[in-house]
A and B are shown apart, each in its own frame.
Chain A
Amino acid sequence: SQKIEQNSEALNIQEGKTATLTCNYTNYSPAYLQWYRQDPGRGPVFLLLIRENEKEKRKERLKVTFDTTLKQSLFHITASQPADSATYLCALDGFSGGYNKLIFGAGTRLAVHP
């Protein structure tokens, strides 16, 4: 069956360290993968998109990798700050039920401690 999985346990790290979040998928062949940030009581906010032919994408302190062989994306936040504390969702495009749709993971909560 098709699955997209993110670590359900919260990730706790110290301010200044690099946070690494994982997104694994099975039985999909996505053309791209996206990462969103979601704060409590708010809607997701788009952060980065990486295509299947790209190995790595960067935006300021954010870095995303995409390994189509391992079927995995890693999301890194360098020099993390308490303001980075949020839930991070990965999403990939999947063709199912006759149309292309965005498949979301359940998200990983990141807590950055001062």
Chain B
Amino acid sequence: NAGVTQTPKFQVLKTGQSMTLQCAQDMNHEYMSWYRQDPGMGLRLIHYSVGAGITDQGEVPNGYNVSRSTTEDFPLRLLSAAPSQTSVYFCASSYLTEGLTSANEKLFFGSGTQLSVL
């Protein structure tokens, strides 16, 4: 099992460019989410999905789009990159199983994408 795989590891964009951050998981988890991590701040939820075909906004969704066509993949699209989107992005997955009360329990994270927007 590879777990949660994110690509690319590093990316530099110019303001106004668009790109897609890839996220794939091989654990058959229903729930997937995207977070951004900025210095001195906790991880903040961008978008999340409770299953294929279902997505919803998190705390900081502006400037980002997501789709979930399969259980495995949850790409994050930056529509028109801005310097404020310079951050480290993490994809996470989780599942709801016996003994758990919420799919927010025990997240599995990818290794992150470090994005710089100039």
Q: Which residues of A contact B (CB under 8 A)?
A: 4, 8, 31-32, 34, 36, 41-46, 49, 89, 91, 93, 97, 99-107
Contacts and interface: CB of A to CB of B under 8 A. Distances in A.
Interface in B43-82: 43-45, 56, 58-59
Contact of A49 (B44, B105, B111): B105
Question: Interface of chain A, helix or strand or loop or mixed?
Answer: strand
Contact of A107 (B42, B56, B105, B109): B42
Interface of B: 4, 35, 40-45, 56, 58-59, 90, 92, 101-102, 104-112
Given A43-B111, A45-B109, A101 B42 contact: no
Contact of B107 (A8, A46, A97): A46
Contacts of B59: 97, 101
B43 A104 contact: yes
Contacts of A8: 40
B79 to A, nearest CB: 22
Given A43-B4, A43-B90, A103 B56 contact: no
Contacts of B108: 46
